[in-house]
Structure 1
Amino acid sequence: MEALIPTIAIWALPVLLAITLHEAAHGYVARHFGDPTAELAGRITLNPFKHIDPVGTVLVPIGILALSTLSGMGGILFGWAKPVPVNFSRLRNPKGDMLWVAAAGPFTNLVMAIGWAMLFKFATSTPETAYTLPMMQMAEAGMLINAVLMFLNLLPIPPLDGGRIAVSLLPGKLAWHFSRLEPFGFPILLVMLFTGVLGAILWPLIATFRYALATFFGFYG
């Protein structure tokens, strides 16, 4: 239990930023393409309290961290914020613009992962202080949580971002049929999670991405 508090302290900021900025990006891009719904709801903001979901942003990540810390076994840390409201019918080109609105979240996670990698490189390249190890651990957490959210959301399962991207790219009738899977998206994810399929898909992608960051920035910690 004593190890849980510092673990939460290290992960809190990366998780909060990864989840809330992901959602804010959707709203910002939706506004750019003509839908002001998120702006009118006050959701295009960097204020994390506007995006926090008590369960998805707080309880679920802490619960996963607690189980991982106490059991000593790794797991996929993920969570979610309150979804940013987007009215796709108000976009100037609803089907085409849907792609950019959906892609904004994973792209934001990619940018943040790169930012955390730069921080990790900085920590390993400067004289060691009392802050070096916590900085490296937080940067590692930032790279991991953003990689998880990026690849998880790119899965082609509605209503995940990858599902919406697929709907945008598929021809009309096929896109309509595919979009009808949306009510079953979350149950499908739960089945994939508890059967280990989700981890089998995501971990190789995450590991490869982490290795690519380390190679590009020249660190191997």
Structure 2
Amino acid sequence: MELTLIQKIAIYALPVVFAITVHEAAHGYIARYFGDTTAESLGRITLNPIKHIDPIGTILVPALLVFSGTGFLFGWAKPVPVDYARLRNPKHDMRWVAAAGPASNFLMAIFWAMVYKLGASMSGDFAMPLSLMGQAGILVNVVLMVLNLLPLPPLDGGRIAVSLMPNHMAYKFAQVERYGFIILLVLMFTGILSKIMMPFIMILLAMFAGIFS
């Protein structure tokens, strides 16, 4: 079924916006749990998308990728500020703050899988849109989870890797963060990023299809 531009916007808007914003809110919530209230003081521990939306990263870039039909989704929100020095055990707690984002995407993928299942079991005008939105939600959250678990600072996987390394190695690896976004863009536009991610994405999509089909 070929979707029109308006239909694609309607189907992907909620999954994309909430996949990115809930991801950021989860970082802030876990940071507060471990002692850093920076995000809370700035009003960033909220599910209000307006607080997290980056006009380019949350709306423009994902929209262009969806409508171009590349099959690859990429986006970002305003990063939730975390002062790692204020965590009770900075190096240890960092991994849990970082892991909270991908974990939230996994839980949201489960939610959207249930939405898909609901749509598939219904009849009427809302059945197909609900199923398509469920499929979009699964895809968006799986892609963001896999992307953020890559061991490249400043991605969550990079911060997790830093937290697990001996101090001397962690310090050197953390210096990559200043170049991390550039590296990520180069990997994306050369096609290397999708080749790295696709096997993991396909495994997870197959898992969801097997459980919720």
TM-score (norm 1): 0.93
Deviations 1:119-162 (A, max 9, x none): 11122223x21111101110000000000110000000000000
Name the counterpart of 2:23.
22
Counterpart CA distance in 2 for 1:195 and 1:52 is 27
Deviations 1:90-145 (A, max 9, x none): 0000000000000000000000001111111122223x211111011100000000
2:125 paired with 1:98 = no
Q: After the TM superposition, list the runs of 4 or more consecutive aligned residues in structure 1 that deviate by more than 4 angstroms.
A: none
Counterpart CA distance in 1 for 2:111 and 2:185 is 30
Name the counterpart of 2:56.
55
Q: Do the aligned partners of 2:120 and 2:128 also contact (CA within 8 Å) in 1?
A: no
Counterpart CA distance in 1 for 2:115 and 2:46 is 24
Name the counterpart of 1:108.
104
Name the counterpart of 2:37.
36
Larger deviation: 10-19 or 202-211?
202-211
Name the counterpart of 1:132.
127
Instruction: Kindly report which structure 2 residues correspond to 1:1-221, keeping only aligned pairs within 5 A, or say none.
Output: 3-68=4-69, 74-126=70-122, 128-217=123-212, 219=213
RMSD of aligned Cα (Å): 1.0
Q: Which amino acid aligns with 2:193?
A: L
Q: Do the aligned partners of 1:4 and 1:65 also contact (CA within 8 Å) in 2?
A: no
Identical pairs, percent: 59
Deviations 1:181-204 (A, max 9, x none): 001111111111111111111122
Q: Do the aligned partners of 2:11 and 2:132 also contact (CA within 8 Å) in 1?
A: yes
Deviations 1:163-219 (A, max 9, x none): 0000000011000010010011111111111111111111221111111011112x1
Counterpart CA distance in 2 for 1:82 and 1:198 is 22
Q: Do the aligned partners of 1:26 and 1:101 also contact (CA within 8 Å) in 2?
A: yes
Q: In structure 2, list runs of 5 or more residues that go unmatched.
A: none
